[in-house]
Amino acid sequence: QTERSLVLVKPDGYRRGLTGEVLRRVEAKGYTLVALAVLTPSREQLTTHYAEHEGKPFYEPLLEFMSSGPVTAALIEGHGCIAGFRSLAGATDPTAAAPGTIRGDLGRDWGLAVQQNIVHGSDSPESAARETAIWFPTLG
């Protein structure tokens, strides 16, 4: 069914000028851009967004990385776009991500405390709704 997914181009992707390339792949796949924003995330946005990871060893480095500069938030829409975008993104670890995916084609291990893996995509309809309220409060 038609659904929406919340996509982030993370600070590494933004800094490397990959926002357009990510959005190009989303549109080439046939998904629609519903909303777009460039912003440097607040601590509150990040603690809410990453609540499930609190206490994990990469949690604090993750918050530091994610607040290190602008991200592009995109609300995308299409049949099956939640699983579809995760498929476009590829595996969390860019070294393992298959060629043809965003992380497989454009990402690598930089030897840092956090996987700087270019993009985030919602993992379920519940996550998409929760994350939309964080990044697009007027649409949530």
Q: What residues are designated binding site for ATP?
A: 10, 58, 86, 92, 103, 117
Angle between helices 81-89 and 19-29 (to 10 degrees): 130
Buried b (16+ CB within 10 A) or exposed e, 58-88: ebeebbebbebebbbbbbbebeebbebbbeb
Tally of residues, the chain: 140
With respect to ligand CMP, which residue has the nearer C-beta, 58 or 136?
A: 58
Does the annotation mark 120 as catalytic?
yes
With respect to ligand CMP, which residue has the nearer C-beta, 117 or 132?
A: 117
Which sign does the torsion angle of CA 23, 36, 132, 54 carry?
A: positive
With respect to ligand CMP, which residue has the nearer C-beta, 1 or 87?
A: 87
| Least distance between ligand CMP and beta carbon 24 (Å) | 20
| Least distance between ligand CMP and beta carbon 69 (Å) | 15
Q: How far apart are CA 62 and CA 50, in angstroms?
A: 9
Active site residue: 49, 53, 79, 120, which one? 120
User: Site residues (CB under 6 A) for ligand CMP?
Assistant: 53, 58, 62, 92, 114-115, 117, 120
Mind telling me the catalytic residues? 120
